[in-house]
Amino acid sequence: MTMMKSLLGAAAVIAMSAAGALADGPAVIFDLGGKFDRSFNESAFNGAERWAEETGGTYREIELQNDAQREQAMRRLAEAGSNPIVMAGFSQASALEVVAPDYPDTTFVIIDGVVDAPNVQSIIFSEHEGSYLVGMMAGLASETGTVSFVGGMDIPLISRFACGYAQGAVAANPDITVIANMTGTTPAAWNDPVRGGELTRGQIGQGSDVVFAAAGGTGLGVLQTAADEGILSIGVDANQNYLHPGSVLTSMMKRVDVAVYNSFSADTIEPGIVVLGLAEDGVGYAMDEFNAELVTEDMIAAVDAAREQIIAGEIAVHNFTEDGSCPVDMQ
Amino acid sequence: MDFITILQLLDSSIRLATPLLLACLAGLFSERAGIFDIGLEGKMLAAAFFSAAIAFTSGSVWVGLLTGVAASVALSGLHGLASITFRGNQLISGVAINFLAAGMTVVIAQTWFSQGGRTPALTGDARFEEIVLPGAASRIRDIAQQSPLGQIYSELISGHSILVYISLLIVPLSWWVLYRTRFGLRLRAVGENPAAVDTAGISVVGLRYAAVIICGVLCGLAGAYLATGLSAGFVKDMSAGRGFIALAALIFAKWRPWHALGACFLFGFLDAAGNRFQNIELLTFLSLTFLLLAAVSAIMLVIRAIMLARGKDTARGLLTPGIALVVSVGLALGLDALDPEAGGIATYLNTFVLPVQFMQALPYILVVVILAGLVGKAIPPRAGGEPYVKER
């Protein structure tokens, strides 16, 4: 009996690995934060899971453990026949530039980065527009006239969040002070909740009473400290309102899940750059039962009006990555 | 720079120094007994994970703390087994423990909680709350409204987790155990000359195991503080090199408990300053440096005064720290009072901005300076790293 079982097991393993080698399904590569970071990567994972549930299909996935694995992971998936291969995270761009020309029949999709190749689609979000909206909300909710921002790794992408947020806060209250801090300059900055909490305490000491975290796993420490100290916080990427009901004012939603879902289900993927902004519902703010009491009717009215104006082009939100500078002063 | 900012900086230093201090004292006991321990990092990590995981499942942080300490002691026992009983290489055993903990914690966390190698967020009784002493305010915004004395009381003295107070008590306790008890004398002797201890009929193996177990308990407290006090839950690699910084602090302190307190506080302070002042102007940086120098010379002055009162020092010993204190306080206040808008040297200094990378690298720069031997000769316990062989 045991013999039979192990034989059957072995046969099953061989069958599965054979199927794996011939797999033609899509694949996703998560960035260093890990697929359960309650934020960027988890959002990508949710999109992939939704596709799997709705179509009954299977997909392959790789969670990167360190930078050196990027190229290897892409090549492995491409050689195994996965198509398309979606990769979440700007840090994948340099590796993809090398890998993409070697597999002309495979379509790659990169989220948050831009790679110019005939078989790569680059999906970019207008984070500055979404951040502008939550910045307005922060400016309206602040009683002290000071709001703050905690970023993860110090890169232009995160400065885009910070700059949009600051512009929104100033639009709501021209006299407001915006404090912005970055957690660090290495990828470890995405996973350091202790430092995130300390930064938040420092900002509260400088008068901040609304803090926006765009910092992956580090953000969990920021939201925790904000809840402990009785101030408001704003989550990022996924809807994080549920983490600390009554303390998280809203979340800047970046629909990475939609991007992954669409890439998985599309029949053909056009190469080039796709920008998902407010008009495409690629970014936005989150409302649910956990923050309903914190957000007033007036705030929603003001933010929705701004949203319409941005879509219509009446308000131009400055994009930090265009010229590397921000029109609003941050401390 | 105003008063409350300095207080917040010191408050943050205390919080960040606590895990370093506990790990540093852990290393102190182990290395004083002749067992080098680079596995501090791994033991902290294992304790952080098990304390958070069990605190979450049981709902009680104390049960979590005990489990975390038990996990750390188990790894200590492993280190002891390899390096005392089987006379293996202590460095290799320590490195193995670091790797084991880094991998094991994530794998078990993934199996138990399926959240990508982290534990769920801890709330309520599953976490060490801050202890608010009677009459103190707890929230930063309320503290800012108080009088300066009230601010010191509320910000610095009150409002820490119980493990912070425990770790501060362990410093004098360690000193007393090492220098005032028979056990401490034997422990130090076994790290210097185990053959002499053996000749006196005392078990070298027993003493070394005792030291390693104490090391495990202290590392366990450090890890539990990281996961259940400083933050609310375990995340992958959350010890973030603190075990290695603690080792550097131990060398800086030349294997002495009170000095370890000073060294760890310095590292905590640099970490806190790096968090608080990103892109600092040279002017602010200089006044901060002189403030730190003033604090160090004030402590030196007090120590000299105590020694003078006991007749162990002459009055001339007070001179150097006294002059240093006056000069650095003068410079700190003078620089702080300068108006950067007014022109002259202040404007010149203010145009230099130190980048955030420099501020966050400060603790590591200090480690390099210390290990390069610039702080004087640090002589480790003589029998450190050598397994004891009874007969050759």
Strands A283-285 and A248-254: antiparallel
CATH value at residue A290? 3.40.50.2300
**Are A193 and B240 a contacting pair at CB < 8 A?**
no
Q: Note whether residue A98 is domain-resident.
A: no
- Give A91-125 pLDDT, tens digit per residue: 899 999 999 999 998 999 999 989 999 999 999 99
Q: Letter for the amino acid at A78? A: A
**Distances in Å between the alpha carbon of B99 and those of B39, B92, B102, B118, B209?**
9, 11, 5, 17, 22
ipTM, interface predicted TM-score of the complex = 0.80
**Are A193 and B235 a contacting pair at CB < 8 A?**
yes
Residues 327-366 of B with CB under 8 A from A: 356-357, 360
For residue A126, give both structure tokens.
């207008």
B59: left (phi over 0), alpha (psi -120 to 50) or beta: left
Strand order in the sheet with A108-111: A60-63, A27-30, A85-88, A108-111, A120-125, A272-276
Q: Note whether residue A273 is domain-resident.
A: no
Confidence class of residue A19 from pLDDT cuts 50, 70 and 90? very low
Q: Note whether residue A85 is domain-resident.
A: no
**Cβ proximity of A64 and A73 under 8 Å:** yes
**Are B235 and A201 a contacting pair at CB < 8 A?**
no
Could you give the CA distance from residue B258 to residue B263 in angstroms, rounded to a whole number? 9
Could you give the CA distance from residue A190 to residue A187 in angstroms, rounded to a whole number? 6
Range of the domain at A166: 128-253+284-323
- The predicted pLDDT at position A6 comes to 56
Q: Note whether residue A141 is domain-resident.
A: yes
Count of domains for chain A? 1
Could you give the CA distance from residue B350 to residue B46 in angstroms, rounded to a whole number? 45
- The predicted pLDDT at position B273 comes to 87
**Cβ proximity of A102 and A118 under 8 Å:** no
**Which chain B residue shows the shortest CA-CA distance from A229?**
B139
Q: Note whether residue A197 is domain-resident.
A: yes
Could you give the CA distance from residue B90 to residue B193 in angstroms, rounded to a whole number? 17
B137: left (phi over 0), alpha (psi -120 to 50) or beta: beta
- Domains of chain B as residue ranges with CATH: 3-256 (1.10.3470)
- The predicted pLDDT at position A17 comes to 44
- The predicted pLDDT at position A251 comes to 93
What is the percentage of chain A residues whose pLDDT exceeds 90? 52
The one-character DSSP state at B130 is: P
- The predicted pLDDT at position B324 comes to 87
Does A15 have pLDDT greater than 50? Answer: no
Could you give the CA distance from residue B240 to residue B168 in angstroms, rounded to a whole number? 22
Mutate to test the interface with A, among B18, B20, B225, B276 (most CBs of A within 10 A): B276
Task: Kindly state the average pLDDT of the residues A176-184.
Answer: 91
Q: Note whether residue A276 is domain-resident.
A: no
**Are B230 and A197 a contacting pair at CB < 8 A?**
yes
pLDDT in tens, chain B (392 residues): 678 888 888 999 999 999 999 999 999 999 999 999 999 999 999 999 999 999 999 999 999 999 999 999 999 999 999 999 999 999 999 999 999 999 999 899 988 987 777 888 888 888 888 888 888 887 777 777 788 888 888 888 888 999 999 999 999 999 999 999 999 999 999 999 999 999 999 999 999 999 999 999 999 999 999 999 888 889 888 888 899 999 999 998 999 999 999 999 999 998 888 888 877 788 888 888 888 888 888 888 888 888 888 877 777 778 888 888 888 888 888 877 777 676 677 777 777 888 878 888 888 888 888 778 777 777 889 988 888 888 76
**Are B231 and A193 a contacting pair at CB < 8 A?**
yes
Mutate to test the interface with A, among B112, B139, B141 (most CBs of A within 10 A): B141
Q: Which residue has the tokens 């056990």?
A: B183
Does A178 have pLDDT greater than 90? Answer: yes
Q: Note whether residue A270 is domain-resident.
A: no
Q: Note whether residue A247 is domain-resident.
A: yes
**Are A202 and B117 a contacting pair at CB < 8 A?**
no
